């Protein structure tokens, strides 16, 4: 049986402006980066994923994701989330299945992502996974030859559905739990945080292999 091999596009803002609501927790650049790195690492390790493209205007992020085995792309002209996703989709090309994944999933499990992508592969056109609140979107996927057409932002789940994207069914708690607030972060900790976020919260900093990369 043929298994689709996906290109994952993950947009990451400048660390200085990322997760503004979470910063009330408080959170600093290291935690914001750690959350993104756990998302990227989980995507990289999903067995149906071929490439992970990280679109960012931040050189520290670019250096760190390169050390993880992801491919950084310059977010030019730095015009917002949907524009960054389009940069990645254009780079990937329409001949391969592509999916946009938000970078705020610190408890993400590779196996859950893989199952969602397999379901998307069997859904012609575009498909998406709503977030845990049901109003946002954590994953938007497109089969080969179909434009990704991202519509992230407020009420993105409704906007993606209205644009013809199919809602993917599945519990997938780690894929749905995007972290915007301190309560979201506590819920993610209950699911089991990735190694980078756990280390950042415990004051351990980044692993040594990434420390030089982000300097």
Q: For residue 9, what are its two tokens?
A: 């596009």
Residue 62 falls inside a structural domain: yes
Place of tokens 């730095």: 78
Residue 180 falls inside a structural domain: yes
- What is the per-residue pLDDT across 124-135, written as a single tens digit (0 to 9) for each? 999 999 999 999
Residue 208 — pLDDT band, cuts 50, 70, 90? very low
Distance CA 201, CA 27 (A): 9
Q: Where are the beta strands (DSSP E) in 57-150?
A: 71-74, 98-101, 126-130, 137-142
Residue 171 falls inside a structural domain: yes
Provide the pairing of β-strand 98-101 with 137-142: antiparallel
What are the b/e assignments for 153-192, b being 16+ CB within 10 Å? eeebbebbbeeebbebeeebbbbbbbbeeeebbeebeeee
- What is the per-residue pLDDT across 102-145, written as a single tens digit (0 to 9) for each? 999 999 999 999 999 999 999 999 999 999 999 999 999 999 99
Residue 113 falls inside a structural domain: yes
Q: For residue 214, what are its two tokens?
A: 């982000």
Q: For residue 116, what are its two tokens?
A: 């969602």
Q: For position 188, which CATH number holds? A: 3.90.550.10
**Residue 138 — φ and ψ, nearest 5°?**
-105, -25
Residue 211 falls inside a structural domain: no
Query: What's residue 177's pLDDT?
Result: 98
Residue 122 falls inside a structural domain: yes
Residue 105 falls inside a structural domain: yes
Residue 210 falls inside a structural domain: no
Query: What's residue 25's pLDDT?
Result: 47
Query: What's residue 27's pLDDT?
Result: 54
Judged against a pLDDT cut of 80, whether residue 205 lies above it is answered with no
> Number of structural domains, the chain?
1
Domain extent, residue 129, equals 6-201
Spatial CB neighbours of 87, under 8 Å, sequence gap ≥ 6: 55, 73, 74, 75, 76
Q: For residue 99, what are its two tokens?
A: 């999916």
Distance CA 16, CA 32 (A): 9
Per DSSP, the residues of 193-206 read --HHHHHHHTT--S
Q: For residue 34, what are its two tokens?
A: 């750690």
Distance CA 12, CA 15 (A): 8
Q: 3-class DSSP state for residue 210?
A: helix
Q: Among 158-162, 179-183, 210-214, which is the least confidently predicted range? A: 210-214
């Amino acid at each position: 049986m043929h298994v689709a091999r996906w290109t994952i596009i993950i947009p990451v803002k400048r660390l200085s402006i990322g997760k503004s609501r979470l910063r009330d927790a408080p959170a600093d650049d290291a935690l914001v980066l750690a959350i993104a790195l756990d998302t990227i690492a989980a995507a990289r390790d999903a067995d149906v994923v071929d490439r992970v493209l990280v679109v960012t205007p931040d050189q520290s992020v670019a250096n760190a994701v390169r050390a993880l085995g992801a491919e950084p792309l310059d977010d030019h002209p730095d015009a917002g989330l949907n524009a960054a996703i389009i940069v990645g989709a254009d780079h990937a090309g329409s001949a391969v299945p592509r999916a946009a994944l938000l970078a705020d999933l610190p408890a993400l499990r590779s196996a859950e992502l893989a199952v969602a992508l397999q379901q998307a592969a069997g859904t012609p056109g575009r498909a998406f996974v709503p977030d845990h609140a049901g109003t946002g979107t954590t994953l938007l996927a497109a089969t080969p030859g179909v434009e990704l057409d991202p519509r992230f932002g407020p009420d993105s789940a409704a906007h993606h559905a209205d644009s013809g994207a199919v809602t993917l069914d599945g519990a997938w708690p780690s894929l749905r739990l995007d972290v915007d607030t301190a309560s979201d972060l506590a819920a993610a900790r209950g699911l089991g945080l990735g190694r980078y976020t756990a280390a950042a919260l415990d004051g351990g900093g980044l692993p040594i292999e990434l420390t030089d990369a982000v300097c």
